[in-house]
Amino acid sequence: MAFITVGTFSCKNTEKEAEMTAEEAAEATEMATEYTVDTAASQIMWEGAKPTGKHNGTIKLASGTIHLNEGKAEAGNFVIDMNTINDEDLEGEDKANLEAHLKGTVEGKEGDFFHVKEFPTAKFEMTSIENNVVKGNLTIKDKTNAIEFPATVTMEGDKMMMKSEAFEIDRTKWGVNYGSKSVFPSLGDKFINDIMIITVSLVANKA
């Protein structure tokens, strides 16, 4: 997730930090209708990579609400249950070991990735949605940064569905530094990409 080149570090780093600054969460108008996220039907899909391969999986939501006005989202937030980190490309002991490492349930490696005992949830708060681009604040491990992603909202009666396109986040912005070559340059080819690919799939029902 490092976009900075030698010789322009100071300027580019300042620009990137400005892009990631959190903003005030959007507030719904009186005309908006509240929809409650269906946590059983919603999920976040993730993908991480390193030189020797990649892994992918899902994370469930703990709760969430979306406020719609005439089918358009005005405000919303959802809580991510970090204890539900799930890998989908491995099986058996390999799957269990990777999930434990990501969650931070391995003794001595709690802080390598998401340290779920100390930070059991993450949170997203919408700040705006324009031209099918959702903008908001993502909080992981008590660090908050602004993100944005293209998404489509569709309606089926009293059900709302929001599906994002795949988008990138830089995990090191949230202090998830394990195996990062931008943080630890001496890793050589034994690094894990800073970039994670995320896809958000939400289903919400009229409250």
Q: pTM for the full model? A: 0.88
Structure tokens at 199: 């896809």
pLDDT, tens only, 162-189: 999 999 999 999 999 999 999 999 999 9
pLDDT digits (tens, 9 = 90+) for 94-136: 999 999 999 999 999 999 999 999 999 999 999 999 999 999 9
Q: How confident is the prediction for the chain on average, in pLDDT?
A: 90
Exposed (0-12), middle (13-18) or buried (19+): which is 99, by Cβ within 10 Å? middle
Taking only the tens place, the pLDDT of each residue in 40-83 is: 999 999 999 999 999 999 999 999 999 999 888 999 999 999 99
- With a cut of 80, say whether residue 14 has pLDDT above it: no
Confidence check: pLDDT of 13 > 60? no
Kindly tell me the burial class for residue 176, based on how many C-beta atoms sit within 10 Å of its own C-beta (0-12, 13-18, 19 or more): buried
Topology of domain 21-26+38-206, CATH:
Lipocalin (2.40.128)
Query: Is the pLDDT confidence value at 2 over 70?
Result: no
Cα 186 from chain centre: 28
What pLDDT is recorded for position 21? Answer: 80
